[in-house]
Amino acid sequence: MRSKQKALLALEDGKIFEGRSFGFLGEKAGEVVFNTSMTGYQEILTDPSYKGQIVVMTYPLIGNYGINQEDIESQDPKVEGFIIRENSLIFSNWRGINSLSDYLIRNHIMGVEGMDTRAITKHIRLVGAMKAVLSTKDLDRDRLIEKAKTSPSLIGRDLVKEVTCSHPYSWTMGNDPQFSCTHMTSSRFKVVALDYGVKLNILRALHDWNCDVTVLPASSRVETVLSYHPDGILLSNGPGDPEGVPYAIETIRQLIGKKPIFGICLGHQLLGLALGGRTFKLKFGHRGANQPVKDLKTGKVMITSQNHGFCVDPHSLNPSEVELTQINLNDQTLEGMRHKRFPIVSVQYHPEASPGPHDTQHLFGEFVKMMEQNSNA
């Protein structure tokens, strides 16, 4: 076994945390954030929405079920770094093929254990998410703090271009029975998914609802999107500041009223901007599998899986055009909206919820219903 090396996390405000490496050795800069999920570290590692971020897991023991070939949200990890309290030296799961440590090393992802993850989380909650540097090669504390201060900010930065697909492709499923269609509808609808960093389980969910899915790059123009003659358009999740992706906002603005639209996470934020609203950065974001969201029409409270650092300002939206449908019960931020004239809905959380609660998977069925109604209009 490779000997573990000392690692330092330096925050731009001067805070330093010490640990030891169990992943790839090197140095990475990013925004340090925390995730409160107890399971699902493989999905977190491969979620493109984490591009540009160093993720701290609040649950102390990570790695106990290893890594498998099924529970991925993209083809390889997207996080800049991964910090945990304790790495499980032994993994046990019938699907597990290798350890978390081996997976991080093979994919050149820095992994650090032994840090006081509770102290990091409490600090972020107090002062907010911030720029940081994680390093095993440079252990000079003052120099690392300066590197953190001068590292690129996520504000206004286009991270979508780093995770979107380069060419259009059709999403096809394998023969794995766990992905068999369980929500078969009488019609089969064509969906174009605009890839801002799409999670694979969103594509699996659309397939599960009997949709033919074509995935297009984030930079696709409205003419290209409509040339596929879709019944509906999916605006995917993705990383970073929505205002850093002006080309996507303009394309969405031109698509409004032409086809049913369903926005998820970053797609929700981009849609809010396209509708004339504003977005703002949350202090430390929502990242975890237990965020309570209230439906304003029914009063029902759902537990949701979330991963975002920006939010749509509900006061910036035109109330004669946009209906606010859901709010976060922790901080009252906007979690869902619906257009009053066009078949357009969006949510800030992840209804595909892999891993996580299944309370909101019915939203894909509502998207299918919108496409059915629009095709019959």
Tokens of 8: 């330092």
Number of H helices, E strands in the chain: 9, 19
Distance CA 204, CA 336 (A): 22
Q: Residue 181 catalytic?
A: no
Q: DSSP code of 49?
A: G
Please report the pLDDT score of residue 354 as a whole number.
80
Does the pTM of the predicted model rise above 0.85?
yes
pLDDT for the residue numbered 181: 42
| 160-376: CATH superfamily | Class I glutamine amidotransferase (GATase) domain (3.40.50.880)
Q: List the chain domain ranges.
A: 6-150, 160-376
Catalytic residue from among 43, 243, 335, 352: 352
pLDDT value, residue 179 = 38
pLDDT band at 187 (very low <50, low <70, confident <90, very high): low
**Overall average pLDDT of the 112-133 stretch:** 97
CATH topology of domain 6-150: Glucose Oxidase; domain 1 (3.50.30)
265 is catalytic: yes
Q: Which of 113, 123, 265, 286 is catalytic?
A: 265
Catalytic residue from among 123, 207, 308, 350: 350
CA dist 176 to 17, 185, 272, Å?
A: 43, 20, 37
Known catalytic membership, residue 311: no
CA angle at 70 for the pair 68 and 71, rounded to the nearest 5°: 80
